[in-house]
Amino acid sequence: MTEDSPAVTVPLDRAWGTFLGGGWAPETDAPRFDVREPATGRPLATVEAATDTAVANAVADSRRAYDTAWRRTTPRERAGLMHEAAAVIRAHADELAEIEAREVGKPRRDALRFDISYCSAAFDYYAGLAETLHGEIVDSGPIEARVKYEPYGVVAAILPFNWPPIHFSKKSAPALAAGNTVVIKPGEQAPLTVLRLVELVNQVLPPGVLNAVAGPTAGPALTANPLVERITFTGATATGQAVLRSAAANLTYATMELGGKNALIVLDDADMDVAVDTAIEGMFYNQGEACTSTARLLVHSSRYDEFLDRFGAAARELVVGDGLDPRTDIGAMVDHRQQQQVLGYLRKGLDEGARVTAQGTLPTDPRLADGYWVAPTVLADVTADMTVAQEEIFGPIACVIRYETEDEAVAIANGTAYGLTAAIITEDHFRASRLADRLEAGMIFVNNYMRRAFLGTPFGGVKGSGFGRENAAETLHEFVRAKNIRFPSGKGPVPTWPPKR
């Protein structure tokens, strides 16, 4: 299958739920929840929600696997298994892309060429880094210190719905490479791709090294479990705060990759072709369901009308439709709740004085009548204090804001609770460098918004966008802790206290 070939329906009427010890572990009386297809609103699959007992069993099983098997493997052995896992993922890329397109709503084309490709590449990348976690020897005279890096043990990885294969791999791959075992908890709106990935990767990993739990209560049960020694979370800032409060009870270390309200600044000397193309990708890729979405487009007053006209024309050309249709650029929102939330923000923006200057066309196919659609929309006359300019919308609503000076642009860009990304469009390299230093964000794009090439560079934000860094070599150190072992060196007597008289 290629990204433009007709879809071959993957059967989803099968067991989905808790995965531990190398297989599915159904519970007789466990509650269940439906996963619906965003493009049609129809049920795709039923998933067994993990009870507190199931979560405890998954964590205990992962701890056993850590103690008896995984921590005893060498980095080279782990690397070999992870390369095998990457190969298994690549071999099932078509199937995984279709599942993701059907449960998330995104174009299958994007799922195949970005999400699944990244997923397998991340396993290969961290496999290649597994042997780089070398310790060190520190000579301090009569004492020699041996510093070694050890895994935490069980890692809880809690994922959002928007890029399931990417979040799965960027959390589990470095944790596994560092020698930890992992319990994955996918988002309830779109758990199937992650659960299938767990099943596939377990073809090569020892049982219990990678387990999974699903459902609305699984996250809190995971974060409160005292056997979990490390948490890695991606999701909304408010949910992240709840995770941290739960983790605090056991003093569990956590990485938080949270929300964003990112600004793209179009300077007065910008190449308008670059500005429009970059804004279209930054704003509307993945239906705007992205913490990295450039939801605020800051345009110098001298270019404002030109940008609005050209950006609006490009937004109208985006094809909204079923993710399985190769012509589709914008899919449906992941569920009805997300659709209504985004539409609510649109109404709020209009109430506060913004105006719609461009809007895409929704699909007319009767089969898609009950889908969770939101047309790509351009809001003009947005001011920095409006709700739509301050809160994360997580949908295809672009807010265009006028500014007069660089100082004003920087103040607007930095004037939210978030600090994940920012972008600068200018022909002047020195202006870009100067602005980049002033922007409060973990990642800065200049004359591009190529977020599909993060692997190998640090991903993470500041302020309300969280802390910790993913996707890079340094991420391995997020999943290990240093142990200091000190020996007499033989280079002289070890000083004692009190001094001998």
Catalytic residues: 257, 291
Count the helix, strand and coil residues of the chain and give each as a percent rounded to the nearest 5: 40, 20, 40
Tokens at 304, concatenated? 């404002």
| Dist CA 359 CA 140 (whole Å) | 67
Separation in Å, CA 124 to CA 94, 211, 462: 19, 20, 28
The DSSP string of 284-338 is: HGGGG-STT---EEEEETTTHHHHHHHHHHHHHHSPB--TTSTT-SB---SSHHH
| Dist CA 333 CA 340 (whole Å) | 9
Tokens at 203, concatenated? 């073809």
- The answer to whether 310 and 300 have CB atoms below 8 angstroms apart is no
| Dist CA 59 CA 11 (whole Å) | 29
H or E stretch including 272? Answer: helix 272-284
| Dist CA 357 CA 399 (whole Å) | 11
3-state secondary structure of 146: strand
Beta bridge partners of 136: 147
> CA 10, 11, 12: angle at the middle one, nearest 5?
110
- The answer to whether 7 and 108 have CB atoms below 8 angstroms apart is yes
Tokens at 192, concatenated? 């199937």
Beta bridge partners of 158: 185, 233
Tokens at 357, concatenated? 């200057």
Beta bridge partners of 492: none
Separation in Å, CA 423 to CA 55, 279, 433, 444, 450: 41, 9, 11, 6, 11
